[in-house]
Amino acid sequence: MRPGEPERDFGQLAAWFSTLEDEQSTEHSLKEWYEKQRERIIQIVAEKEQGGLLGFYWATRDRSEATLATFYLFVKPEQRGQGVGRRLYEELVRAVKEAQVKRLRVSIWETCTEGLAFAERRGFVERRHLIAMALNLDAFDDRPYDEIIARLKGEGVRFTSMQELVNTEEAQRKLYVLNDTTSSETPGTDDEHSWGSFEDFQKSVCQSDWYSPDGQMVVIDTATDAWVAMSAITRLEGNDSAYNLFTGVDKLYRGRKLAQAVKVLALRYARNVLQAHTVRTHHNIKNAPMIAIDRKFGYVQMPGFYLLEKILE
């Protein structure tokens, strides 16, 4: 057991992350993330005495709650059943307790019965169930939504992007408030916040390689200058498809089809600018309104994952 070394190990870890997550991870992106978030990360690899990685764990302390950590744990399939996973988990628990972590979370594919059983035997319980959805952009007909967009514009709604707003710090602060507020109000999130501060949001979102100001669609009420809706989309490094990170609407403006309108603009950007043929996203299974919109658009449901949690003794 030893800490993973970026130049020596991160190529292999990136390949394993691609298996664990619903997106392609690259050595470059993993190194970049590690350098930016190093103070929050605890990670170890398991290696044969004669060389060759067997598996790893990677725990990241929450931005806004230092006593909460989310982790990954992976063992090569041909090395399973020999105690490597058990030893990695025991070392993980020891390390996070030393870092004053009180709660552990892990995401496991709903189709991974082996991983779910491993976690449940160690006292993890389900906290959320997220489903994956994918849209064939080549078959998506966005023309019926022109009428909705035109109506909203006539009602004093402005559709813009962070690129058009010059991506200033003032605009980023408004994006942070809108994103943080609407995401915490999403059904099934239990009012949890994704970032502890604007500075955290700016560092982890606005300064990331995947952040595209022209892919951050924003809706503004021109009568009050209030930021009322958004849809963020990007194309992650190494991926053929685009990813819709989040779509949200201020609760005071819901019921006016703003989510459909701003999401259509994001999908057009993915098709016309990012040159993507597919868009993927994830939804909390309790977020019925957004799931209904995506099904209306033609998204197809894919295997999702469970978010499990354990309170450490």
Domains of the chain, residue spans: 6-101, 133-303
Q: Give the helix ranges, DSSP H, for the chain.
A: 6-20, 27-37, 84-98, 113-121, 146-154, 169-184, 198-201, 258-272, 288-297
Q: Which CATH class is domain 6-101?
A: alpha beta
Which pLDDT score, from 0 to 100, does residue 36 have? 85
Judge whether 6-101 and 133-303 match in fold: yes
CB half-sphere exposure, 131, CA atoms < 13 A? 16
pLDDT (average), residues 27-48: 92
Provide the 10 A C-beta neighbour count for residue 156. Answer: 11
Domain at 133-303: CATH code = 3.40.630.30
* pLDDT (tens digit per residue) in 53-76: 999 999 999 987 889 999 999 999
Which pLDDT score, from 0 to 100, does residue 237 have? 73
pTM of the predicted model, to two decimals?
Answer: 0.84
3-class DSSP state of 222: coil
Q: Is residue 186 pLDDT above 90, yes or no?
A: no
Cα 139 to Cα 137: distance, rounded to the nearest angstrom? 5
Q: What percent of the chain has pLDDT over 70?
A: 100
pLDDT (average), residues 157-181: 97
Q: pLDDT grade, residue 193 (50/70/90)? A: confident
Q: Is residue 268 pLDDT above 80, yes or no?
A: yes
Beta bridge mates, 53 = 47
Q: pLDDT grade, residue 172 (50/70/90)? A: very high
